[in-house]
Amino acid sequence: MRFHRPAVPSALAALTTLTACLLLTACGGRAPDPDASPSSTLIPVPDPTVACNVLRVTPADAIEQAFVDPLITIVYTAPTAGACGDLTLQDASQSTVAATIVASSEWPNPQGGFVGTRTIEAAAALDPGAIYRLRWNAKTVSTFKTGIERRGEVVSVTDQALQLPSLPNAAHIGQGDINNVLDAFAEAIAKGNDIKRFLFENALRVELPRIAKPEARYGAAISKVAYRSADARGNPVTLSALLIAPERSPGGQPVDFHGMPVVIGQRGATDSTSDAPSSGATTMGIPGLIAAGKGHLFLAPDLIGLGDSKSLPQAYLVAADTAGQTQDLLRAVRTYVQQQYLSTLGTDLRLFGGSQGAYSTLASLPYLAREGTVRVVSAAQGPYDVYRTFHGALLTAGGAARDAYAMNENLGFLPSHTRDVMTSFQAYGNYAFDPKLVFDAAGQLLPSFLADYKDGKAQDFVRQLGANSLVTGSQVYDLPQAQVQLYHFSADTLVPAQNTVDMLVALSNGKHRFASVQRGNCHENSELVKLIVRFSKSSTITHTLCVAFQIDDFVGGL
């Protein structure tokens, strides 16, 4: 007798497909028990023997067309916290220019000392065409010249047709289409089979009731935004983003942009040849349509290396650049709304993202807090502790026992994600990356590199990982109105769920101010979810599954 594996019921396939669509591809990592206590190395003990050295400074030395309102960032090593002094901006006469701190964090490096990141911004616009220098640790670390541009200037806003299955291929989507967005999705995956469509619609209505019934009051206008931000060295560059705005439906209420709240959605990881959010062809459009239909302005940055800037390296898991580009987008769209509609957008901000998008969401918090009142932070499956995510996996690949971060690791993803993050650190952190010393001809990690990493010889790589880790740094968040929900499927095989366990502990440690901090519900005890995990053939199902529930909760709160 031959036993056959049971077929996945159609309803399960529907939810599986939707969750995979709602989340773009992810970053590297693994997952443990969501209720596990933080591992013992959550706070490494530094060794005070490391000198004050600059790893990166932006604007870089000799830049000649810097913004007149640049974000000024330094990444450095230090023997002890605060040992290397402040970063200061001076004009040509060597007078100190008043500046405010945007973000500041020092990460205790288990290999010794600290790795710090500090971003400041001048209190007023700098003079165009003028020379400025940056001083740190009693040394000049960069001398640059300003141009005439400001960050966040609008280059263009153009209609962008939506390109999602069974929704109109148009830049203007009606209220009725938004209210039927889940039905349209079910029809697309049923591919003309009326019975399957019926099953899909009913299953998804039960599991995702808020997406199924968004109660949109408006239609939506979809646009592509091009705006000015900075590249790896601080040179001006044009980036792109998706903008979905409420639009009056026939016979409906008029749209008032004055005081309108803003939703910012952050994409997951993807390669530079894939569709960007601004193309209108990614499912970032689904929460965007619902947000606009409920009276919110929706933004989704492509981020550098995707969309209009796809020829440039991505700032993959680089906190400062991701945050600055998101802040610049918000400034650009505020200016556009003021010019186009003679209205001032509201200060309320609601943020969400999944996978790399979850990381981007939290990395942006100190920057966006300067632009408005953050009300909601919804993040799922994020690699918040970049160091521990890679550290556990690399040690496991080298033969060590699995730690809390590597517990569920699918090591098959590790080589590609290591290459991606090293390439990113090379472009945005001055990391000296030689692929021949890390990978063999087939792209697999060399045993010699894994041995060196285990023996503590990959110090520069560790510093880059630490500089971009959000969990154990000293950054303080002051967001007293923000309701924070972090989601993570406990058996995630792509990004460790321990990231969320540790991030929740860190955000609840008394240093920060939030309205609330809690773990989101991935419905892991749902019989439907259990069946999906059991029968799905996707290697990333435990990474993508929770995002549908995250989005359903998020749009329900709009």
Which comes out higher in pLDDT, residue 137 or 3? 137
Is 44 within 8 Å of 110 (Cβ atoms)?
yes
For 84, 313, 340, 378, 469, the CA distances from 360, given in Å and listed in that order, are 28, 16, 29, 11, 11
Rounded Cα distance, 325 and 330, in Å:
9
Q: Which pLDDT score is estimated for 15?
A: 58
Question: What CATH architecture does domain 1-40+152-172+216-558 belong to?
Answer: 3-Layer(aba) Sandwich (3.40)
Task: Look up the CATH number of domain 53-145.
Answer: 2.60.40.3710
Q: Which pLDDT score is estimated for 417?
A: 96
**For residue 43, pLDDT beyond 80:** no
pLDDT digits (tens, 9 = 90+) for 85-94: 999 999 999 9
**Mean pLDDT, the chain, integer:** 89
Phi, psi at residue 348, to the nearest 5°? -70, 130
pTM for this prediction: 0.91
Structure tokens at 277: 């959010």
Instruction: Label residue 189 by pLDDT band (50, 70, 90).
Output: low
The arithmetic mean of pLDDT across residues 532-545, rounded, is 84
pLDDT digits (tens, 9 = 90+) for 193-225: 665 556 566 667 888 899 989 999 999 999 999
Phi, psi at residue 228, to the nearest 5°? -100, 135
Q: Which pLDDT score is estimated for 198?
A: 64
Instruction: Label residue 20 by pLDDT band (50, 70, 90).
Output: low
Domain limits of the chain?
Answer: 1-40+152-172+216-558, 53-145
Q: Which pLDDT score is estimated for 201?
A: 63
